[in-house]
């Protein structure tokens, strides 16, 4: 049994993110309310791409920079998935923006768009922004049936 149940909106977003990450270095924002499937999509993407180097949470920006250092030095193309970016402060998010100018793709998820992303220097970095919709009652029934039958 798959741990990702096909629901139209999530399938579309999953495929679009895959396409974009295969084509080019990207900065992608994935938004949606709790339970909309953001974390599940990130997990699914980590299984698809070999050059994913991180899918988790950094405790501070120094840890983040130390983690990225070898990849920056080698100029290696990598993908970083950061879930629940609303936990990070503006200094950390600005560091993400700076690193996005290198050979690093970012896929960031959050239940709401951080205010700093509305600033001009962020707008120019974001290639795509996807908003996951809440499940309809029929989709939930289908999900439960597929998942537990």
Chain position carrying tokens 């988790």: 56
Q: Is residue 3 part of a domain?
A: no
Q: Is residue 45 part of a domain?
A: yes
The residue length of the chain stands at 149
Using one digit for the tens of pLDDT, what is the confidence trace for 121-145? 888 899 999 988 777 777 777 767 7
- Rounded CA-CA distance 64/25 in Å is 19
Average of per-residue pLDDT across 13-28: 90
Domain containing residue 143: CATH number: 3.40.50.300
Q: Is residue 20 part of a domain?
A: yes
- Rounded CA-CA distance 55/137 in Å is 30
Q: Is residue 1 part of a domain?
A: no
Residue 123 confidence (pLDDT): 87
Which residues constitute the domain of residue 58? 8-148
Q: Is residue 100 part of a domain?
A: yes
Contact 35, 149 (CB under 8 A): no
Using one digit for the tens of pLDDT, what is the confidence trace for 101-110? 998 999 999 9
- How many structural domains comprise the chain? 1
Q: Is residue 57 part of a domain?
A: yes
């Amino acid at each position: 049994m798959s741990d990702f149940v096909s629901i139209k909106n999530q399938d579309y977003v999953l495929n679009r993110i895959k396409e974009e990450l295969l084509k080019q270095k990207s900065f992608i924002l994935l938004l949606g309310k709790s339970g909309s499937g953001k974390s599940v999509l990130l997990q699914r993407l980590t299984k698809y791409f070999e050059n994913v180097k991180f899918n988790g949470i950094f405790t501070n920006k120094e840890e983040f920079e130390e983690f990225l250092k070898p990849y920056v030095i080698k100029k290696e193309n990598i993908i970083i998935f950061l879930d629940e970016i609303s936990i990070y402060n503006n200094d950390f998010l600005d560091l993400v923006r700076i690193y996005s100018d290198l050979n690093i793709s970012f896929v960031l998820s959050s239940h709401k768009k951080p205010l700093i992303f509305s600033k001009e220097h962020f707008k120019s970095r974001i290639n795509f922004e996807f908003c996951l919709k809440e499940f309809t009652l029929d989709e939930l029934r289908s999900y439960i049936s597929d998942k537990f039958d």
